[in-house]
C-alpha cells in the first residue's frame, strides 16, 4: 500500500479493506458511509443493530455486516477472521464499539464497570490482536476515545477511565506497531449531535454546550467520520500515537459540562 498516489478526499481509501466495530450506532453508521464514499471496502460489526440501509430482518444475510460481541476475545478473533476472509484481508480498523452508563461514584456497580471496560478497552485490544497478522505496511487503526479522557466531570468516573485507557492504548500500540509501518491514532469527540444523543442530553444542555464552544457548535457524526477517513488514509501517513479532540473548540475554552 505504500507509494500510492494520494488522489484527493473522494478517493482517499480506494483499495482499502476496512473493519468498523460498533457499526450500528449513529457514529458508527456515519463512519461506514464515509469510508465507503471514499472508496473503501467496509465490513461493519455490531452486537445487534443493523447498518444504515440494512433492514432489521435482513441483517444476518448482509455480507458486509457481522453480528457478534467484540468484547469477548474468541468472538472478536472470529469476527476479524470472517471480515478478512470476506474482503481478502484487512488494511485498517475503526473501533467504535462502546457501552456507557453515567453514575455518581457511590452508584457505580461492578457489572457496569466490567461491561464498559470489556467493550471500550477489551474489544479494540482483541480486534487489533486478531488483525495483526493481516495488517501490513501502511495499515491504520483508529480508536474512539472521548474528551472524558482529558478532563473531569461529575458522574463520569467509570466512562472516563475506560476512555482514558483507550488514549493510553493508542500510544502504546503506536509504539509497538510503528516499526512495521502501522499507524494508531484516536479521536476524542465531545458531545456528538446525533438524534439519540440529543434525546438523552436535552435541548437545554446542548444549547449550553454550543454556547460555550469556540465555534458555537457541537460535532456531528459526519464530522467524526471525516476525521476517521483522513486518519485511515495516506494523507495521514506521518501521524501516529495521537489523540484528536473534535468538539467545536469547546475543549479550548476549558468549560465544564
The helix or strand, by DSSP H or E, that contains position 21, with its residue range, turns out to be strand 17-21
Conformational region of residue 14, where left means phi above 0, alpha means psi within -120 to 50, and beta covers everything else = beta
- Name residues whose C-beta falls within 8 Å of residue 163's C-beta, 6 or more positions apart in sequence: 120, 145, 146, 148, 149, 188
Q: How many CB atoms lie within 10 A of CB 17?
A: 20
| Residue 257, SS3 per DSSP | coil
Which of these, 150, 76, 169, lies nearest to 68 by C-alpha position?
Answer: 76
Of these residues, 126, 134, 159, 230, which one is catalytic? 159
CA dist., res. 170 & res. 172, Å (int): 6
Q: Is 159 a catalytic residue?
A: yes
Give catalytic residue positions.
159
Amino acid at each position: 500500500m505504500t507509494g500510492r498516489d494520494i488522489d484527493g478526499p473522494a478517493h482517499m481509501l480506494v483499495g482499502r479493506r476496512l473493519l468498523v466495530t460498533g457499526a450500528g450506532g449513529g457514529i458508527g453508521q456515519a463512519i461506514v458511509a464515509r469510508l465507503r464514499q471514499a472508496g473503501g471496502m467496509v465490513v461493519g460489526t455490531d452486537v445487534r443493530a443493523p447498518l444504515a440501509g440494512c433492514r432489521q430482518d435482513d441483517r444476518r444475510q448482509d455480507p458486509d455486516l457481522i453480528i457478534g460481541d467484540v468484547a469477548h476475545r474468541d468472538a472478536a478473533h472470529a469476527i476479524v477472521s470472517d471480515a478478512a476472509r470476506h474482503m481478502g484481508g484487512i488494511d485498517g480498523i475503526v473501533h467504535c464499539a462502546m457501552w456507557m452508563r453515567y453514575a455518581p461514584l457511590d452508584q457505580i456497580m461492578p457489572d457496569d464497570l466490567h461491561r464498559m471496560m470489556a467493550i471500550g478497552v477489551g474489544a479494540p485490544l482483541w480486534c487489533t490482536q486478531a488483525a495483526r497478522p493481516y495488517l501490513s505496511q501502511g495499515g491504520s487503526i483508529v480508536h474512539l476515545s472521548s474528551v472524558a479522557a482529558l478532563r473531569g466531570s461529575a458522574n463520569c468516573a467509570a466512562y472516563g477511565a475506560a476512555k482514558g485507557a483507550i488514549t493510553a492504548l493508542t500510544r502504546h500500540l503506536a509504539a509497538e506497531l510503528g516499526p512495521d509501518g502501522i499507524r494508531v491514532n484516536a479521536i476524542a469527540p465531545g458531545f456528538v449531535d446525533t438524534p439519540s444523543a440529543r434525546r438523552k442530553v436535552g435541548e437545554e444542555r446542548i444549547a449550553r454546550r454550543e454556547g460555550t464552544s469556540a465555534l458555537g457548535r457541537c460535532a456531528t457524526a459526519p464530522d467524526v467520520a471525516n476525521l476517521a477517513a483522513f486518519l485511515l488514509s495516506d494523507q495521514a501517513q506521518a501521524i501516529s500515537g495521537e489523540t484528536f479532540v473534535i468538539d467545536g473548540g469547546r475543549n479550548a475554552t476549558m468549560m465544564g459540562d
